[in-house]
Amino acid sequence: MTATTSAALPRVGDRLGRYTVQRVESLPEMQGTLILLAHDLGARHAHVVRDDDNSAFGVTFPTVPRDSTGVAHILEHIVLMGSQKYPVSDPFFAMLPRSLNTFMNAMTSNDWTTYPFSTRNEQDYFNLLSVYLDATFFPLMRYESFRQDGHRFEFETPDDPSSPLKLQGVVYNEMKGAMAAPGAVMWRAFGKALYPDLTYANNSGGSPSDIPNLSYEGLRAFHAAHYHPSNAFFYTYGRLPLERILAEIESHVLTHFTRQELDVSIPDQAAFAEPRRETVTYPGSDTERGAQVSVAWKLGHTSDPDANLRWSVLSDVLLGNPAAPLTRPLIESGLGAGLADLSGYRDSFREGAFAAGLKGLPAGKAPEVEALVLATLREIATQGIDPQLIESSLHQFEISQKEVSNAGYPYGLQVMFRLLGPWLYGGDPVTGLRLETELTHLRDDLARGRVFEPMIERQLLDNPHRVTLELAPDPQLAERTEADEQALVARLSADFTDDDRTRIVAESLRLKELQGQEKPADVLPTLALSDVPPRVPRVAYVVEQHGRAMVARVPQPTGGLTYVDVQVRLPDVPADLLDTLPLYAFAVTRGGAAGDDYAVLARRIEAVTGGIGASVGVGTRPDDLSALRLSLTFSGKALARNAPALVDVLRDVIATPLFTRERLEQLLRQRLAGLKASILQCGNAYAERLAAAQVSPAGIITEHFSGLSALASLKTIVEDGGLDDLLVRLNRLHTLFLTGTPVLCVTATEGDLGLDLTPVTAAFVGDAPVGAPRPDTAPRRPQARTTDSPVAFNAVAFRTVPYTHADSPALLVLSRLLRSGYLLKEIREKGGAYGGGAGFDTREGVFTMSSYRDPNVRRTFEVFRDARQFLNTELGQQELTEAILSASKLLDPLTSPDTIGRMRFFGDQAGYTPEVQEAYKARLLAVTLDDLRRVMDTYLTPQHAAYALVAGQDPNEDVRDLNLEFDVQTI
């Protein structure tokens, strides 16, 4: 089968079945071509032809909810729970282990819902295409699915109508957790405040108090109205033949529909006559520093490419780095700890928005923040913007246009999200991918005079459509919300008769029966173990020795960018400096260097690089979990013409960083605010780290670097006057760091590889040997951390074996089997949590089970405890094959020119060579069910377990009969 090549590209006006080619546009920056087509039914299709083995698909529907029942979000769940061709209860989750996908998900935004996937396997692509098309256009939408994932009444004891009545549902519990997070509350309030008359005033995810108002009939009607080809935007990407993809969509979907007219248009929001102020609250107890204030404006249409580009550039100029002319006065005012969550330009509404503000405030500071933002903008507009700042921002856009990377989302889906914005709002999707025309217009206008200062004056300072939005913590809100939920249940059930209660019992038992049934998924397509590539990439590189430094040079088609990584293997780090390492990494690239303060350095970084960063890591040897090594890594990228300037920046930051007390205080307050905000979004990860720290030497270091221990340590420094001592420790650490062993990697095109790295390598002095930290693990005692959360995050961890041990592949397969075959059903379907899973860190040797936004504590720890019984059920070759397929994906991460070389080189240096990795794969493919039972009986036993959780209250009363007693501390 041949790909769609440039020689075979269709021409404008060509008919491909019932499609008409509307446009064929070259995309030279990404070496691709965009083909836009329209179907006779009204469906739109964008296809990007590009020589990339990772092919992508997405189908997106404009979904415009008229209330906050979460209908679009709940529908996103329900359509993936069985369809006409695949009438199993959860084909989406059942396909995860049957596929070698590089991405699978579904997402609900303010005004659209999308279903994207990507994969490097051709058969897998068409398997997933069939499942996604059938799910979205022909879902079964069973009543039981609606009750499971949407909302339902259920008695606390399901078969006892005299026990308390409660609300349950996966989305219901997900949104209870989401709407306790300050960032989520702020986002929903932002849309409602700026666009009060439009769909953006509604909570598209669903407000917990409104979700029970959604009826099953309303859900089905919303699907019939919105999930129709006439309302569909299809997207495909890669080198698979367009004609075959179109034929699949035609035969599977389009031939079964007739054209339909649906008005999903969003009107303009009527302009405000004068600015407004709004205050919203979230369940938080940090009244000293838990508030934030954002000053926001409604702007013009985001489908206007010129305006969109100019606001994107202006946003970067004003707020894009610590020295930016709006950022710096806000931070240095001392009012707050960091920029408010929504600061910057937002093009995710039909009409754009710009906002600026501060977080980490006491409540009641809205007038001061508003005055500061307005005064600063007025000063910028009057005094003018330094042209060099504008040029630096345009330089960042040049980098973003040239860079092809799978970091974050797969590149094929990054392209989809770039073109979706203008496409969905009636604009030209090409403008999301190519900016030459708009950049030329902008540069021409800049040459003639001021461009951005008049924008600030007209569209911000003189614009009455402005809202000053304050988000404030309310320590009593969680208690009131729980009481309101009980009142809601009482109100909705006030007229229940005995027949109603009998019906609820019957429906609960029916749902429980269905959840307990075996779910044969033979009807679903799958792959075979022969589809797993047995080899790993062997990327060419050359190695040089520069004194103590090792330098690797990796030739890759980077599109004119150069990437530099400086990994420093640290000597022995004193115990009192260990917790300082992550703070050093956070501060060192955000402070000053070479005698320049942070503002000068920030402007220099923006002008000549695509960004630099630093991170700390702990590594293990493939054969020994106790043989640890600490490293501090600096990374940066730049256009090839600026690569020498990137090296100079890295040299200065590495050799002569500048830490000042004032700047350090700003940075640590920002970091503290960010960590606090992340707890309710990443509570399961924090719980897993707490548990792993009790069993793993690497785990205890990771917990101190990025867990709740790091948060507690940082809080002490910031709030209890530890800055002076920290400055001393940072300088001690810097001296120690420069005695480390540097290992460098430069990735670039062949002609750009001769970059001189001696300015960096010459900075390292001394001959300290590489250290071997041996931390003591935390005492193995169940750990609980309480915070403002209505749901829990539970975890259990076990220490097992190193990478080269014969049992490691079986443990990896076991984690995938438990995740898809057991925990998903028990914790999500039956328990109502948003997520439940298992994981195995092959390098740290830690096996975990965890839950996410979970309404249960006791039941979930019972599920963890009873996992062994699942292996006694009737498992066969199909379940084993799927678990192996799923595990194999973790061994073949999606790479791109910017990452593949550094991963190979640093992997080789750590002992994870291609030969070692391929031996692991070979053992993985040979794992048996008996192996899974054996490793579980050997390593995952109660006496080896370590427990942890993050929740809203002390769990001990709930779990006492499980012989668990948690050490409870407040976050």
Which residues lie below 8 Å from residue 951, measured CB to CB, with a gap of 6+? 784, 785, 786, 787, 789, 791, 792, 793, 794, 857
Query: In angstroms, rounded to a whole number, what is the distance separating the alpha carbons of residues 341 and 631?
Result: 31
* Tokens, residue 214: 């959604």
Give the single-character DSSP code of 1: -
Residue 470 among the catalytic residues: no
Closest Cα to residue 372, out of 383, 362, 380?
380
Query: In angstroms, rounded to a whole number, what is the distance separating the alpha carbons of residues 835 and 170?
Result: 9
Query: In angstroms, rounded to a whole number, what is the distance separating the alpha carbons of residues 961 and 953?
Result: 18
Q: What letter represents residue 577's amino acid?
A: L
24's enclosing H/E stretch is strand 19-27
Q: What is the DSSP string of 625-638?
A: EEEEEEEEEEEEEE
Closest Cα to residue 427, out of 270, 308, 263?
308
* Tokens, residue 575: 């115990």
Q: Give the E-state strand segments of 650-740 in sequence order.
A: 657-658
Contact 887, 815 (CB under 8 A): yes
Residue in the block written with tokens 């529909």: 257
Alpha helix ranges (H) inside 777-892: 808-818, 858-865, 867-870, 877-890
Which residues lie below 8 Å from residue 693, measured CB to CB, with a gap of 6+? 699, 700, 702, 703, 707, 709, 777, 778
Residue in the block written with tokens 């094929």: 412
The backbone region for 721, taken as left when phi is positive above 0, alpha when psi lies in -120 to 50, beta otherwise, is left
Phi/psi at 791 (5° precision): -130, 170
Closest Cα to residue 948, out of 781, 822, 798?
781
* Tokens, residue 387: 């042209």
Q: What is the DSSP string of 477-489?
A: HHHHHHHHHHHHH
Cα first-last separation, the chain:
57
Letter string b/e over residues 795-809, b meaning 16 or more CB atoms within 10 A of that residue's CB: bbbbbbbbbbbebbb
Phi/psi at 612 (5° precision): -130, 160
Q: What is the DSSP string of 482-512?
A: HHHHHHHHHHHTTT--HHHHHHHHHHHHHHH
Q: Which of these is catalytic: 29, 76, 278, 370?
A: 76
Long-range contacts of 871-878 (CB under 8 A, 24+ apart): 871/929, 871/932, 871/933, 871/936, 874/518, 875/817, 875/821, 875/929, 878/522, 878/526
Residues recognised as catalytic = 76
